[in-house]
Chain A
Amino acid sequence: MKLEFVKTICPYCGTGCGLLLQVRDSRVVTTLPDKKHPVAKGTLCIKGWAAHEFIHHPDRLTQPMLKKGDIFQPIPWDEAIGLAATKFKETAEKYGPDAVAGLSSAKCTNEDNYLFQKLIRAGFMTNNVDHCARLCHGPTAAAMSQALGSGAMTNSITDFVGADCIMMFGSNAAETHPIIMGEIYKGKDQGATLIVVDPRRTEVARNADIHLQIRPGSDIPLIGGMMRHILDNKLEAKEFIKERTEDFAELKNFLKEWSVRKASEECGISPDQLRQVAQIYARAGEAMIVFCMGITQHACGTANVFAICNLAMLCGHVGSAHSGICPLRGQNNVQGACDVGALPNVYPGYQSVADLVMKDKFERAWGRPLSDKPGMTVTEIISSSGTGIRALYIMAENPLLSDPNQNHVIESLPKLDFLVVQDIFLTETARFADLVLPGSCFAEKTGTFTNTERRIQLLHKVVDPPGDAKDDFTILCMLGRALGLDYDYTDPAQVMDEMAEVTPIMAGVHFNRLGSAGLQWPCPADDHPGTRFLHAGKFTRGKGLFVVPGYTPPKEMPDKDYPFTLITGRMFSHYHTGTMTRRSSFLNREVDKAFVEINPDDADAHGIQDGDKVRLSTRRGSISTTARITPRMNRGAIFAPFHFSEAPANALTIEELDPISKIPEFKACAASLVKE
């Protein structure tokens, strides 16, 4: 009886639930929850229960393909690898090393990501490597590293039980991180006051004790008003500020211009409620802040995160078991991809590329010369296709649906001399490639994912990739060797061991230590048990830094022609660009067409009824979608999920980038809605 249950980790969100895949005769037939998993504890969300559905889908890529004319022709592996290596080398020789770039994958394992960034850096002497964290928590990494010294979630997912106050900014965790929402509810049941800040009245907002329905993009005024009230009433944590922080004077100065009344006018929350919330947070014994895309996906996203760090440090709510700052990472391994250096400005372990000591260390470790110039980000790479960047290697990313202003991406990609896309399906981006390499999914590889609470967990291979597709690890080794690197790895465990040597935060992490609960970094030594919460006693950078947040309201405000604020985001039964979930029959049955959420009064005013076809337009583009009337939205705001490639919300979004972390403002632009 060839029946087996193999434990692995869910490929969807950053919660990193353990699950069991049931394999019969080399096919994965169903998913079961893992009762002993420390986070999921025998539960799964709708996507987790359907994690197996896309694995054997007939659309899976099975052979390398070369575009000849307009058609993809299958070619053998050695020809594909040889061609890719040659083309990249030619481009680097002709236009210089910085003409080559790579987009790594937040869906692939830590080992895959490490090999990818090493390939780009050591193979081409450029730092042009980035991944989709740019589009989600780039501001988090940038701001929290500067303010606290570490950009990761400070506590663990189970730490909500024990907090007295949980404040959620811009997070719809019930749809994006359902299992984490379960833990937050447990915390609420144990006595925590749940405060939710969100322009939409989501399920999370309705189940909260207090819902602050702010104007989109007005988080800094809200937090400013709160901090002002806290200072005026001497509720700040004086000892904490004195002993553990720096630049408090700058913050106090900044707060002089944010009276509670001004803050209230700017964010749309009444002064009384603002004061009440400030009081609750400041007075709590232990308090957790949770935040997600509503904070980061703005043109002032980095500033928003600074504001949150300021608030937490002002009240001393960082650095203990149930007090901290919790960014909820989106992809299953976006935390890991950042940790192992798939970023243009840092090596593995967040060690800066501009730092000559680090450059020296990695040059010796990798045996190749490296560049000390920080590279380009995802959005910059796409924009400068054809001019700055000539050859691009994309591994398991779909910028055509996930990057803002889709028309611009469609114009830019063809300008590249050579585009290689490695993925498991022929995504919308892969259609533009010159060379397509068939990779493997989570069930077909052994390696590690790191979830949002810094937990490095081991996946176990369950089945082989279909047809002639190969493990991403194998493909990277083949390409690395073709480029002259010593990619003689035979086992991902060796990659983890190498990572441990060069990455202080993961120095004690090896496959044989990862057992059933994984290890939470920092894990600096072979006998270290991992770290549950950060910044105990002192911050990673020593003292926490107050940084004045530069507030900018959303760049494109509604006007006569485009009277709505368009908010884009996610919903519970689909995942991001839908590459996997739109091919899962169960999830697609739940929702199979694009929609836009409209307030009932707005709908009346425009003569739109539930289910009508509507044309949603912005200055960038226009899509046809279905109206869904719901009082969840406030007047003047509409919401469209970006999962549906036939009605791509990113054809509408604006390319305004945050100046520091270069994240686009997905959460606010001006739109118009007309019944079709």
Chain B
Amino acid sequence: MMKDLKQDSNGVKSEAGNTPRVIVFACKWCGLIGADAAGRKHAQLPAGFRVIPVECASRIEADAVIRAFSSGIDGVIVLGCHLGGCRFNAANHRTAKKLKLLYPLLETVGIDSKRFLLSFGTAHEHHQFEDLINRFYQGLQRLAPMDAWSGSYLSEMGQR
């Protein structure tokens, strides 16, 4: 997954769409089910997001979210099971607490906290997933693309 991001972001020119690019880390016991269902229903969703299935939301470390932003990704969503229902000994509790600390950090440096969504137990059904994605994109539309601030600067340095 990370390698894909790297190859995409080093040197290859992206088809500069206006659609924000979003990565969704979806726990396969909950968030992925909603994502799959939405896919099977051919839901009308904005292009530009990728779903990365993970065994448990606790698999996602904050570094991955940060690395996504540094590559010019506009938004990151982490979907986990609801807070009573983690298969792996309430691992999502600790994930929730730890990743929540990203909000103050991102806000401090001026990466709007609307770019990061941490959500537990809200995307099991297809309509829930669609709803979530649409609302997230709505929030992003009001922000300048990550490209615009990191991009113009980063692309000057040739870093992505």
Interface residues of A (CB under 8 A from B): 201, 203, 206, 600, 609-610, 628-632
CB of B11 closer than 8 Å to a CB of A: yes
Number of A-B contacts (CB under 8 A): 21
Residue interface bits B9-41, CB-to-A below 8 A is 1, else 0: 011000000000000000000000000000000
Residue of A nearest to B159 (CB): A630
Q: Select A609's contact among B11, B157, B158, beta carbons within 8 Å.
A: B11
Interface residues of B (CB under 8 A from A): 10-11, 155-158
Q: Name the distance in Å between A412's Cβ and chain B's nearest Cβ.
A: 39
List of A residues within 8 angstroms of B158 by Cβ: 600, 628-632
Please tell me if the beta carbons of B11 and A600 are within 8 angstroms of each other in the complex.
Answer: yes
B155, B157, B158 — which one has the most chain A CB atoms within 10 A of its CB?
Answer: B158
Please tell me if the beta carbons of A631 and B11 are within 8 angstroms of each other in the complex.
Answer: no
Kindly state the separation between the CA atoms of A332 and B158 in the bound complex, as whole angstroms: 32
Please tell me if the beta carbons of A632 and B157 are within 8 angstroms of each other in the complex.
Answer: yes
Please tell me if the beta carbons of A629 and B11 are within 8 angstroms of each other in the complex.
Answer: yes
Kindly state the separation between the CA atoms of A203 and B156 in the bound complex, as whole angstroms: 10
Q: Select B155's contact among A203, A628, A631, beta carbons within 8 Å.
A: A631
21 A-B interface contacts by CB (under 8 A): A201-B156, A203-B157, A206-B156, A206-B157, A600-B11, A600-B158, A609-B11, A610-B10, A610-B11, A628-B158, A629-B11, A629-B158, A630-B157, A630-B158, A631-B155, A631-B156, A631-B157, A631-B158, A632-B156, A632-B157, A632-B158
Apart from A609-B11, A631-B155, A631-B158, 4 more pairs, CB < 8 Å? A600-B158, A610-B11, A630-B157, A632-B156
List of B residues within 8 angstroms of A632 by Cβ: 156-158
Q: Name the distance in Å between B157's Cβ and chain A's nearest Cβ.
A: 7
List of A residues within 8 angstroms of B157 by Cβ: 203, 206, 630-632
Residue of A nearest to B13 (CB): A600
Q: Name the distance in Å between A201's Cβ and chain B's nearest Cβ.
A: 7
Kindly state the separation between the CA atoms of A610 and B11 in the bound complex, as whole angstroms: 7
List of B residues within 8 angstroms of A201 by Cβ: 156
Kindly state the separation between the CA atoms of A34 and B157 in the bound complex, as whole angstroms: 32
Residue of A nearest to B158 (CB): A630
Q: Name the distance in Å between A399's Cβ and chain B's nearest Cβ.
A: 33
Kindly state the separation between the CA atoms of A152 and B10 in the bound complex, as whole angstroms: 44
List of A residues within 8 angstroms of B156 by Cβ: 201, 206, 631-632
Kindly state the separation between the CA atoms of A286 and B6 in the bound complex, as whole angstroms: 47
Residue of B nearest to A608 (CB): B11
List of A residues within 8 angstroms of B10 by Cβ: 610
List of A residues within 8 angstroms of B155 by Cβ: 631
Kindly state the separation between the CA atoms of A201 and B11 in the bound complex, as whole angstroms: 18
List of B residues within 8 angstroms of A206 by Cβ: 156-157
B10, B11, B156, B157 — which one has the most chain A CB atoms within 10 A of its CB?
Answer: B11
List of B residues within 8 angstroms of A629 by Cβ: 11, 158
Kindly state the separation between the CA atoms of A122 and B11 in the bound complex, as whole angstroms: 60
Q: Name the distance in Å between B52's Cβ and chain A's nearest Cβ.
A: 24
